[in-house]
Amino acid sequence: MKHHACHGSGGALYFVGFLGALYYYLTTATSFLAGVIGVVKALLWPAFLVYGVLKYLGM
């Protein structure tokens, strides 16, 4: 029987990225609505990153 350990480092990395994005968007928000949009952007930052990379690569 093989034992595969999964330490969840991907989830931890996503969480740290989420916190960084959340901090950035909330500190640069100029209104309450911009803060709410910032929270949504912080949740979806991996999608923005992948989209930007694929657009840069011309795919």
3-56: per-residue pLDDT in tens?
666 666 777 888 888 899 999 999 999 999 999 999 999 999 888 888 999 999
pLDDT in the model for residue 56: 93
3-state secondary structure (DSSP) of residue 20: helix
Distance CA 17, CA 45 (A): 8
Place of tokens 């911009």: 34
Place of tokens 């930052």: 45
Domains of the chain: which residue ranges?
9-57
pLDDT in the model for residue 46: 85
Contact assessment for residue 38 and residue 26, using Cβ atoms and an 8 Å cutoff:
yes
Tokens coding 22: 């959340």
pLDDT in the model for residue 10: 74
Distance CA 15, CA 5 (A): 20
pLDDT in the model for residue 12: 80
pLDDT in the model for residue 48: 85
